[in-house]
Homo-oligomer: A and B are copies of this chain.
Amino acid sequence: MFKLDSRLHNDTFFVCDLSLCRVLLMNDSQFPWLILVPMKNDIAEIIDLSEEEQITLLKESALASKAMQALFSPLKLNVAALGNVVRQLHVHHVARFENDCAWPKPVWGNQPAVAYDSNKAQALVKSIQQWFKDNS
């Protein structure tokens, strides 16, 4: 059974499951930020997935990127698999703006997260769920 890393679990809201990946919303109101986690255990690198799974990840990542563009109209997307802190493979999709608090630096390790107001988070999760429902 797939087991999500506890840090990822604690730092995010569940959005939906696609065919390979669980979609999570990062609980940081400073940036629209989706994380895709392939639902496979003991995988740290993209190349640890089979070739077929890598292509599915690519397609689901493209879908997440399109969701970010449709919902937030960012200046730039940051798409990244880092994993220096949480080793379980997860792919960040961050919508970036020239006036966000980290620009042009990356979002990781530069400033503490600012949690969403819980009503705002619920509404945001709902709108992202709806987008995936309509587009996948």
Check A45–B58 contact: CB distance below 8 A: no
- Contact mask A80-106 → B, CB, 8 Å, 1/0? 111111010000000010000001111
Q: Which residues of B contact A47 (CB under 8 A)?
A: 62, 65-66, 69
Check B106–A106 contact: CB distance below 8 A: yes
Main secondary structure of the interface of A (DSSP, over half): mixed
Number of residues from A at the complex interface, CB < 8 A: 32
Which residues from chain A sit less than 8 Å from chain B, CB to CB? 44-47, 51, 54-55, 58, 61-62, 65-66, 69, 76-85, 87, 96, 103-106, 108-110
Pull 26 A–B residue pairs with CB atoms less than 8 Å apart, ordered by A. Answer: A44-B76, A45-B65, A45-B76, A46-B61, A46-B62, A46-B65, A47-B62, A47-B65, A54-B58, A54-B62, A76-B82, A76-B83, A76-B84, A76-B87, A77-B83, A78-B81, A78-B82, A78-B83, A78-B84, A79-B80, A80-B106, A84-B96, A84-B104, A104-B109, A106-B108, A106-B109
Query: 8 additional contacts, CB 8 Å, given A47-B62, A47-B65, A84-B105?
Result: A51-B62, A54-B58, A76-B87, A77-B81, A78-B83, A78-B84, A79-B80, A84-B103
